[in-house]
Chains A and B, each alone.
Chain A
């Protein structure tokens, strides 16, 4: 201890400022945390990997169910939209899905924990851009592709590889990004 206290007695000035310095550092940390909060979105670690095998029954009488083989037929890249009739942002993104569908994008849906009558009501109210809709009552497909909420939209290429994940509702300004990701997936390049 005698060695440690010797320099402080010689130069007390520096040691005195140490607590204040620590406090300032702490304050800086608090403000960094306040103004740049950590990203709370959990992105899928399954991007670049093939869709896991699944075969879901139809969620509505208007459309067939959804199975992995649809994505592996070597066609155009498709969108896999994870949604639910009880999800408010899913209703908000429906006009954007309609725009994409109108441009020839093929969209398949997975309805999470949903009843047939609710899906039918939702599609009646907000339009039906889907080619197929699978009914995922136990969130099994959702868990298998690393999706952590609704809505989420995955770009899946013609070989059934997941290329891109969009978390949250697709806003009008996101449509060009989705189209670009679809084009990239069609090109087969990264």
Chain B
């Protein structure tokens, strides 16, 4: 019985997980911060607002997917080269659409998003105005 169990265990030890992940080490700047803390802060702020395309509910700052690592490498090396974070965001949007950015872009389709708070404020002001007037009259 014990021998059988051991044999079974040995079988499990022999199995390998299906290789669905690459064998390369992560990109140089996937997990390494930039030497300049100000540049790193810029990169970090940008990476937190970019969507990982593999694990679509995570930012590339949060994801351990190799592709997110490559995207972080791309962001950090470009920032180190002096590129503006918004230019990098635009570069990615040109390739993947607005979906890649968690920060909504101001364009006709997103106007309601930015207009809604103003509309609600105006509505609130309008309603309150009625109340104040009434209480003054009373």
Contact = CB atoms under 8 A, between A and B. Distances in A.
Nearest to A46: B95
Contacts of B24: 113-115, 137
Interface stretch (A11-19, A61-69, A83-91): A83-91
Given A42-B97, A42-B99, 13 more contacts: A42-B100, A44-B95, A46-B94, A86-B20, A86-B23, A114-B22, A142-B67, A143-B70, A143-B92, A146-B95, A148-B53, A148-B67, A149-B54
Contact of A86 (B22, B56, B99): B22
Interface in A99-117: 112-115
Interface string B36-76: 00000000000000000110100000000011001101100
B93 interface: yes
A118 B20 CA distance: 13
Contact of B22 (A84, A144, A146): A84
A22 interface: no
B84 to A, nearest CB: 18
Nearest to B29: A138
B21 interface: yes
A59 to B, nearest CB: 12
B96 A139 contact: no
B95 A87 contact: no
Contact of A88 (B20, B53, B70, B96): B20
Interface of B: 18-24, 27, 53-54, 56, 66-67, 70-71, 73-74, 92-97, 99-100
B53 A42 contact: yes
B100 to A, nearest CB: 7
B74 A138 contact: yes
Given A42-B53, A113-B66, A145 B22 contact: no
Identify whether the interface residues of A are mostly helix, strand, loop, or mixed.
Answer: loop
Contacts of A84: 22
A139 to B, nearest CB: 4
A53 interface: no
B74 to A, nearest CB: 6
A145 B70 CA distance: 14
Q: Which of A114, A118, A138 has the most CB of B within 10 A?
A: A138
B95 A144 contact: yes
A40 B51 CA distance: 13
A6 interface: no
The 8 closest A-B pairs by CB, nearest first: A146-B95, A148-B53, A139-B70, A113-B22, A113-B24, A45-B97, A86-B22, A138-B27
Nearest to A137: B24
B52 to A, nearest CB: 9
Contacts of A40: 56
A143 B52 CA distance: 12
B16 to A, nearest CB: 13
Contacts of B73: 138
Nearest to B30: A138
A45 B94 contact: yes
